[in-house]
Each structure stands twice: as C-alpha cells, then as structure tokens.
A and B are shown apart, each in its own frame.
Chain A
Amino acid sequence: MISLSEIDTTVKRATKAVGFSWGIAEEVGKCIRILEMFGLPGLKNLNQYFRVFNSKKFQNISLISKSNISNLSYCPIISGLNFLDQSHVLQDLVEIEFENVAFPIIFVAFLSRSSEIIGKRIFLKIDGKEFLLNFNQSIYSNYFSEKIIEQASKIKITFIENKNSFNDKEWQELYKLSEQTFVNETDELKQKAAGAGLTDND
C-alpha cells in the first residue's frame, strides 16, 4: 500500500511538473492526501486531470462570487485554492454556485479545508452527489463510487451556521438524566466541599 506521506510527496512533485508553482503543489499534495484519507478517489481524479491538463483549456477563476459561470470548465485547483484563500469573506455569501467545474472531487478537498478554517460545516452538492464537510475532520457523503468525475454541471455550496441538531426539550431531557450522577449536598458540605473561601471580597 502506498502511504499517505508518499501520496503527498508524489502529488506535490507531479503538480509542479505539470506547471503549477511549488506553493500550489504543496497545497494539492495536502488536498489529495486528505481525500485519500477520507476514502475519496483523489489520486485517480488528479491523475486523469493531469492527463488532459495540457491538451485542454481550463478557466482560472480569481475572485469568487455568489454565482460563478464559465464556458470553459473551471480548474478545480485554482478554484479550490482561491476558495480557500477567500473563505473568510465567502462565508458571508451563505450560498455559492459554480457551473462547469472540471474534476470536482479535487475541489472537494479545498472546501473541506475551508470548513476547518472558518469553523463551519459546509454542505456541498455536486450534481446529485451530496457531501457534508465536517471541519476537515471527516466527510459524510452519499457518494461511494471510486469513479472519476470529469465534469460537474452544477456545484452548490452552503455554509452551515453552527447550531445544534437537537431542540431545547431534547437537551433538557438528557441533562436531567445526567443530574442523576450528582450528589445532593448538605449545608455543611456546601460550605466545606468546594475548597474555596466563602467570600472573595479581599
């Protein structure tokens, strides 16, 4: 088995070899490593992208907006990198759409890292495939294929506000149960057991 470290190093070198800068190559190495660690076919998709990279033209987006449409397919690396660099601003847009992105699985890794940077989950829909990006700790998805996806017609990105997945009633119910592990204090224990002084007006 190829180790993640070997994947990172080799992807970095290959990315440099097709013409990206060393700094971008470092980012792509990390991203493909993340995808492979999460069980997504990052290396396979990147390899196919690099096969066609010099024979086809791709659109390099710079400033990302709410709706990003291009006749040429967007480069997943430059799009991903700019998304990463602009993620602090982009989160205010709440929803962002891209049309026509090449090899979108590669793009997913950059979004996963963005989720960690801004501290928010990102919900991502690539045509019919759904991905929940959890702070770059895990990726929850309904997509399990190891196939190469050469093109995404539509990508919808939603920044999810940090909120509970349960309501107050459910929380209170569980909290009450947890209280059964506490000890009822007598007045004497209330005075002595905490260890701190009774007044802090010194």
Chain B
Amino acid sequence: MEIKLRDPKLVMKLSKLGSFHQSKLSFLRSFLKEFKDWDYKRDLFDLDENGNGKAVYSLKKNNKTYSLVCFANNISDLERSDRVIATRWDAAFALHDGVPSKMDIDRLHKNVPKQEVGRLSYKELTLSRANKSIRIFNYIVECLSKGKQPDKKKILDVGYLYRTTAVYGSGKFGLADRFRIKNRNEICGPFRLEMMLVYLVRQFTFDQVNHIAKQKNPRDAVELDREICRNLGIGNSTGLGMAPFIINHPILLNNWILSRETSLKKIREIKKVANEDSEIFKIFLKKSIKNISYWNTESEYQKKKIKELYEDLKKLINFLDDNFDFKKNYPFNDLYIWCEKNLKDECIEFAVSMFMEPYDNIINPLIRKMSADEDKFFTIPAQKNIECLRKIIEENYSQIIKIDFSKKENNQNFWFISKNKEEPRLADRYKEQGSELEQPLAIARDIKKLYERISNIKNSLTVGKFLIENNDLRHLVRRVFISEFFPYAEIQDNTIGSQLMPIDMLRLKLSFFGAVKFDPRSDKWLRICMFQGAPLPNELKSLDSGWIYNSIN
C-alpha cells in the first residue's frame, strides 16, 4: 500500500507547524547519537569562590577536537535580562575549532563576553551567552553547601540552572562560515555545533554550582546528585529573531518537514508491525505523559493547548489499550487515521513524533537529508516561460492567492530589522512608523502581487525578459521556482495578518531543535528547555536513545 505524503497546504499552515513536537529527527537527539563515542574532557576550570572565571571543555575523536570556552562574570541583578537588548550576562561561551591556545583564550576573553559587539574568528564555530535562573541557582548552592540535595520537585519545575538567550553560528560576528564545516564527516545535519555548545554549557552549569557550594562550605558541601543533573537541561529564551529564518531558508525548511512527512508516510506503509516495535511506541507514549504533566506555563494560550494535548493523549492511550490491535495490517496507518478523526492538531503531531520512536531504520537515513545546499537553487531559471511560472503559483500557492490583501486585517503587520540590535521585529503597519523599510517576509502578499502582475503577460514570454521590467518581484520569482522542487518550502499562511501568532514560527523551529516545555511569555517570545533528561557528557558512550522520556519529573 502506498500512502501519499500529507498535503503541504495542510501541513504548512502555521497553526499546524506551531503544534510540532520534538522527535527522533530533532537535532539535539541526533547530535548526542552522532557524538556519543567522542571523548569528553574538562580541560580547564579556573573559577573564583563566586564562580567567576574561565573554563574549557572538549569533545575529541581521533585528531579532531571541539572546545567550549566559557567565561563566567559577576553581574548585578539589575543587569540580568533575557532580552536581546542586554549587554552583560552571567556567562558567555564560544565553541572553538580545535584546542585553543593561551593566546586564543585571551583573545576570546576580550570578545566573547561582549557577544554582538565583540569579534570572533574563523576558528570559532558558535557563540552564546546565558543567564542564571537565579532563584534556583542560589537555592541549589545553599542546599549543596549545607550538605543536602535540593528538593527535586522544586528545581525540576524550572528544569534548568541557566537560560541561553541566543546561540549564534554560520559566520555571525566573524564566526566561521558554514562552508568551512559543512563537509566534515561528523557534521551529519543542521545545527550540530550549536547543539554541542548548548550541551557542554549544561555541564558547565553543574560544575559551577558544585564549585560555588564547595567554596562556600569546603567541609560539608556535597555535589549535586547525578540523577538530578541528568534531569536538568538548559533553558532558552527565544524571541522573534528566529522567525524570519524559516522564511529565509525555504529549502532547509522543506528538508526538515519533508523528512518528518516521509517518516510518517513510511511508518504508515508498514504492513506488519513487530510486537517489539509496537511495545516501544506504547511505552514511550505512556512515559511521555509525565513530560506533559510537568509542562508549566503561565500562558493561557499554551495552557489551553497543553490541556487539550493531555486530554487527547489520554484518549489515545485508552484507545490503544482498549480497542487497538497492532497485529492487523498497516496498524500505524489505521492509528493515524483515527488520530486525524478524533484528536486535535497538538496531539496528532505529538503522535506523529511518537510513531518514529521504534524506527531507527527509517529515521536514520532521513536525518542525513535534513541539511540543504541552498546556493544550488539560488539562480532563477530565466529561460523558462511565464506559463510555467503561472502554473507553479496556481498549484503551490492556490490558497495564498485567494487572500484579500485589500482588507486591512490581512495587511496589519510588517517585519523590520531594528537599528538598535539588528534583529527582526514585527510591528503594526497602521500604528508604528517604519513600514517603508519592510523586510521581504510578506511572502503571501507578494506572491499574490506577482500572480496579478503576470495575469496579462503572454505565456510564451521568458522569465528573463519578464524580469527586465519586473525586478521588484525578483525574490518572489526565485521562491516560486524553488517551490517547484521543494513542496514544503513555503508557509501556507499570511505572515503579516492580524491573526498571526509569531510563536508558531518559533515553535516549529524549536521542535526541530528538540526543545520541550514550550512556555510562551507573549505571542512573540517563549522559553523552552533543551537536553532535560540527557546523559551527562561522561555517560555519553552508553547513550539510551529514549533518554528524553526518562526524566524523573
């Protein structure tokens, strides 16, 4: 039986994309699997009694070494801000390519704590900073220094000691360009080195908290229990900076979604499911309920989604326990169809992620297809004609060209780059100034403009000749031809409408990172947690691929 890939016009709706969850395809899970046999070492740990100073951690295999260089600083509570406008952080980090020399560390010390206003070199791969979750951090120091372990419930509700507020890579601020790393054997997919940085930062947070407690009370202090450590991750505060990324990288977006959709298709096509595989699916599904029950947020929007997910998950588990026979043919297909009929998007997409758990043989080859060589499709095939362009628009953007952009509400917002921080922002076109400097992210509106522009153009005219007089729409023409080969390249929604929920765009990207506990703080930024439940670096060699469902909670 051949199952069709799900229709991009349904999958690529923002409400659907905003319901995605972590899965076996997620980058932080892939990263751990790919680096599990690398040797971990803490090469330098030079902190004062308050935990300020520098440290270096490395992952090494054969002749290849990646080193995380950490700088912890003393900052006042007033200076501590997760917003991108902050200029000082509790700690700052750079992932160095190789073993840093003393000169490298001195150079990095002058630049890494400055973040965006510092300069890195081609020897650095990623850059980040993080702030303490001060209440939890101080509480743990207090407990450990008195020789006690902290209350698990109290700290796991938060889930981390530090929150990163940005992780930069790919040539930003002088970092190594992507071309320098993309062909390395150990880099099997996107964002691996960003994941490595975050993972090693997590270990630094444990070492720092232990160090401060020990300095406070050398006689009685104990180290944070390893099981508690495993169940702490790294938090992250993410704002709108991430949202345009998925619009600006259509081929990469396609490859992520296509991998997910292909895995679903292949799993639905399995005629006979082995008992062992259905058991793995059911066990992880039941375990995952615990993760959901400890998913805290103050956002009413997310609370509603979590409640619905929780109820739907119980419904799904009951259905599996009461009625479902995995011995029949194509059971995952039947189960998926049942999910579509009986569950809401949040749980349907959760189930899709869970379907993948037993199937390394399906998932592993797809993981290798999640990167993109975007330059290959950058050039517009100008020798094609308008008939071809029109046909692609009518097929791939059929819903978008129905949107009425003469209505104010469909044109409500505009995306711009803030002069202050060079970061993307969203504003109301009718209330705020600056819409004349709008970024080219209103794809739906502009595709419609292109469609209208070619309505009276004869079919035989080449795109090259059309562009002579219509270069204002050149970036759209490029996108249309990309969508011809990449069905999931475009968000099938209006990214400037009054109903836009930008956090759906963030959530989509973060789910592919492998983030959990999405905690929207507004419709424009959210907090998440990464690596909660993951093994510690010195336990990596015995990695359990289902670690994400092992948290104590």
A: residues with CB less than 8 A from B are: 1-6, 13, 20-24, 26-27, 30, 62-63, 81-82, 84-86, 88-89, 113, 116-117
A1–B177 touching, CB < 8 Å: no
B474–A21 touching, CB < 8 Å: yes
A23–B473 touching, CB < 8 Å: yes
B158 within 8 A of A: no
Q: How far is it, in angstroms, between the C-alpha of A178 and the C-alpha of B12 when the chains are bound?
A: 55
B240 within 8 A of A: no
Determine the chain A residues whose CB is within 8 A of the CB of B382 once the complex forms.
Answer: 84-86, 88
Q: How far is it, in angstroms, between the C-alpha of A105 and the C-alpha of B298 when the chains are bound?
A: 57
Q: Nearest chain A CB to B119's CB is how many angstroms away?
A: 8
Q: How far is it, in angstroms, between the C-alpha of A81 and the C-alpha of B465 when the chains are bound?
A: 11
B399 within 8 A of A: no
Q: A84-B379, A88-B382 are in contact. Are A23 and B476 (CB under 8 A)?
A: yes
Q: A22-B440, A85-B467, A117-B379 are in contact. Are A5 and B170 (CB under 8 A)?
A: yes
**B473-497 toward A: CB 8 Å interface, digit per residue (1/0)?**
1111110000000000000000000
Majority-rule SS of A interface residues: helix
B464 within 8 A of A: yes
- Chain B CB within 10 Å — which of A5, A20, A26 has the most? A5
Q: How far is it, in angstroms, between the C-alpha of A116 and the C-alpha of B376 when the chains are bound?
A: 11
Q: Nearest chain B CB to A7's CB is how many angstroms away?
A: 9
Q: How far is it, in angstroms, between the C-alpha of A26 and the C-alpha of B471 when the chains are bound?
A: 11
B122–A3 touching, CB < 8 Å: yes
B464–A85 touching, CB < 8 Å: yes
**B170-185 toward A: CB 8 Å interface, digit per residue (1/0)?**
1111111111000000
B171–A26 touching, CB < 8 Å: no
A-B CB contact pairs (8 Å), 21 listed: A1-B174, A3-B174, A4-B171, A5-B171, A21-B472, A21-B473, A21-B475, A22-B475, A26-B474, A26-B478, A30-B375, A62-B469, A63-B468, A81-B467, A81-B471, A84-B379, A84-B382, A85-B382, A86-B382, A113-B379, A117-B379
List which B428-475 residues lie within 8 A (CB) of chain A: 440, 463-465, 467-469, 471-475
Determine the chain A residues whose CB is within 8 A of the CB of B406 once the complex forms.
Answer: none
Q: How far is it, in angstroms, between the C-alpha of A21 and the C-alpha of B470 when the chains are bound?
A: 10
Q: A4-B179, A23-B473, A24-B474 are known contacts; what are 16 more A-B pairs with Cβ within 8 Å? A: A3-B171, A3-B175, A4-B177, A5-B170, A5-B177, A6-B171, A20-B471, A22-B474, A22-B475, A26-B474, A26-B478, A63-B468, A82-B468, A84-B382, A85-B464, A86-B464
Partner of A23, one of B122, B464, B475: B475
B380 within 8 A of A: yes
B172–A27 touching, CB < 8 Å: no
CB-nearest residue of chain A to B441? A22
Q: How far is it, in angstroms, between the C-alpha of A26 and the C-alpha of B382 when the chains are bound?
A: 16
Determine the chain A residues whose CB is within 8 A of the CB of B378 once the complex forms.
Answer: 26, 30
Q: How far is it, in angstroms, between the C-alpha of A4 and the C-alpha of B518 when the chains are bound?
A: 34
Q: Nearest chain B CB to A109's CB is how many angstroms away?
A: 13
The 7 tightest CB contacts between A and B, nearest first, are: A23-B474, A5-B171, A3-B171, A85-B464, A23-B475, A85-B382, A22-B440
